Amino acid sequence: MHMKRILRKTSVFFLALVLLGACQRGNDIEKKKKQLARYKTQLVELTLKIKQLEKELAADTLHAGPSLIPVRTLTLQPIPFSHDVEVSGTVIPEKEAFVSSEINGQIKKIYVIEGQHVKEGQLLLKLNTEVTESSIAEAKAQLALAEKLYEKQKELWDQHIGSEVQYLQAKTNLEAARERLRSLEARLDMAYIKAPFDGIIDEIHAKEGELAAPGRQLVQLLNLDRMKIYADVSETYLQKVHKGDKVEVLFPDLDSEPYRLSVFRKENAINPKSRTFKIEIKLNNPGWYIKPNLFTLVRFRDYHNPRALVVPSEIIKKDIHGYFLYVVRQQGKETVARKVYITPGVFFKDHTQVREGLAAGDRVIVEGYDQVTNGEKIQVTE
């Protein structure tokens, strides 16, 4: 009996829980339905407001008329304008020598190394001189004998003894012996190869024991105190460049300002292949910062106008009638863009001189020029 009572109480408890849960779910559904109804009402109200604002904006736009294209302008005033020409140049030392031997011979000794500074007359290489020195010793002995024979023959001739032919023969033999000795001594001197000027040993092209011959390069000697710059200029500028003209020399790979120099020489002949002529410029090089074959630009001026009307090159357009650009004009109370044909002149970098078609004070459109047409209303912004 006791167990039955417990079961009944438990059943009643669970039944109460089920009923309570069902009531709770019913309340949640009812709340969601009410919330959905409110959202739908708000959506209808917002839709009506959006439509009203769209109508008002459309009316305002129609009343205001079409929008104006914004542009920026440049007021023309005469300014100095120049045109420069740049050509590449070649740098070489004013003093440069590929030292070679004047005679054939074996290289006995090399006295210098690459990178060494040498003075004029300093010994660079020596050739084998054994044969020449032996010949000199023999020539000196022959000269001594010739001198004695000449002295004796002269004494006899002074005493009117002997023939004139014998006297002249002795004199000739003496002069021949002296000349042979001088020749051998000169040949000996040629075996000592010396620096023709102060400089630096850039390269050595020979080794001890090798044979030297006239014309074979043994040592490359450079003096970088003074450099020469050669530039090839188009024949178009033949009448624009003259000896003594000022030019700018630039070395883009060096952190230095342009050098203001003068044209030292201008060639008269035109290269038939490149249609260019050569100019020469000289440059002092203290510190030896400028090296041979360094990339070089030479700039010279071929045009200058102290009062030119200049516009950015990008705003100039072209059609079947010629070159044109757009300027600002007043048409009653309205500001419009007008197409103006011009005659362009010299251009340099990103600017062009206008020779005809514009006047000082004209306002040319420099921004928005690609969005306007002739007579279109514009709005000038600063």
Task: Give the mean model confidence (pLDDT) for residues 55-73.
Answer: 69
286: CATH: 2.40.30.170
Are residues 300 and 329 located together in one domain of the fold? no
Mean pLDDT is lowest, of 32-41, 72-81, 97-106, 199-208, for 32-41
Please tell me whether residue 166 adopts helix, strand or coil conformation. helix
Q: What is the pLDDT of residues 83-93, one digit of tens each?
A: 889 999 999 99
Mean pLDDT is lowest, of 2-16, 162-176, 222-236, for 2-16
Query: What is the residue-averaged pLDDT of the chain?
Result: 86
Mean pLDDT is lowest, of 13-22, 72-81, 198-207, 268-277, for 13-22
Are residues 164 and 101 located together in one domain of the fold? yes
Q: Closest Cα to residue 71, out of 343, 335, 350, 360?
A: 335
Structure tokens belonging to residue 315: 């705003």
Are residues 109 and 188 located together in one domain of the fold? yes
Tell me the Ramachandran region of residue 65: left when phi exceeds 0, alpha when psi lies from -120 to 50, beta otherwise: left
Asked whether residue 90 is assigned to any structural domain, the reply reads no
* pLDDT at site 14: 57
Could you tell me which residue, 6 or 150, shows the higher pLDDT?
150
Asked whether residue 278 is assigned to any structural domain, the reply reads yes
Asked whether residue 43 is assigned to any structural domain, the reply reads no
Task: Give the mean model confidence (pLDDT) for residues 63-73.
Answer: 75
Are residues 200 and 101 located together in one domain of the fold? yes
Asked whether residue 19 is assigned to any structural domain, the reply reads no
Mean pLDDT is lowest, of 115-119, 189-193, 334-338, for 189-193
Could you tell me which residue, 353 or 177, shows the higher pLDDT?
353
pLDDT category at 16 given cuts 50, 70, 90 is low
Q: Which of the listed residues 305, 321, 339 is the one where a domain comes to its end?
A: 305
* pLDDT at site 64: 46
Residue 4 dihedral angles phi and psi, to the nearest 5°: -65, -40
Are residues 143 and 183 located together in one domain of the fold? yes
Does residue 319 register a pLDDT over 80?
A: yes
Are residues 76 and 105 located together in one domain of the fold? no
* pLDDT at site 346: 87
Task: Give the mean model confidence (pLDDT) for residues 240-265.
Answer: 92
Task: Give the mean model confidence (pLDDT) for residues 356-374.
Answer: 92
Are residues 182 and 274 located together in one domain of the fold? no
Measured torsion, CA atoms of residues 56, 61, 63, 69, in degrees rounded to the nearest 10:
160
User: Can you give the pTM of this predicted structure?
Assistant: 0.61
Task: Give the mean model confidence (pLDDT) for residues 256-273.
Answer: 93
**CA–CA separation, 90 and 202 (whole Å):** 19
Provide the strand spans (E) within the chain: 69-75, 79-99, 105-110, 117-118, 123-127, 192-194, 199-204, 211-212, 219-234, 246-250, 259-266, 276-284, 296-308, 310-312, 317-319, 322-331, 334-348, 351-356, 363-367, 378-380
Q: pLDDT above 70 covers what percent of the chain?
A: 90
Are residues 199 and 104 located together in one domain of the fold? yes
Asked whether residue 45 is assigned to any structural domain, the reply reads no
User: Is the CA virtual torsion 100, 101, 106, 108 positive or negative?
Assistant: negative
Could you tell me which residue, 151 or 338, shows the higher pLDDT?
338
Q: What is the DSSP letter of 76?
A: -
Give residue 204's identity as a one-letter amino acid code. I
Structure tokens belonging to residue 80: 């100095």
Q: Which of the listed residues 169, 204, 239 is the one where a domain comes to its end?
A: 204
76: CATH: 2.40.420.20
Does residue 18 register a pLDDT over 80?
A: no
Q: Can you state the angle between helices 164-190 and 130-158, rounded to 10 degrees? A: 160
Q: pLDDT above 90 covers what percent of the chain?
A: 48
* pLDDT at site 17: 54
Distance of CA 11 to the CA centre of its chain: 102
Could you tell me which residue, 165 or 218, shows the higher pLDDT?
218
Could you tell me which residue, 205 or 150, shows the higher pLDDT?
205
Considering its fold, how many domains does the chain have in total?
A: 3
Residue 135 dihedral angles phi and psi, to the nearest 5°: -65, -35
Are residues 254 and 300 located together in one domain of the fold? yes
Asked whether residue 86 is assigned to any structural domain, the reply reads no
Q: Which of the listed residues 305, 337, 358 is the one where a domain comes to its end?
A: 305
Does residue 328 register a pLDDT over 80?
A: yes
- What is the residue range of 250's domain? 224-305
Are residues 289 and 312 located together in one domain of the fold? no
Task: Give the mean model confidence (pLDDT) for residues 4-31.
Answer: 59
* pLDDT at site 21: 57
**What's the start-to-end Cα distance of the chain, in Å?**
103
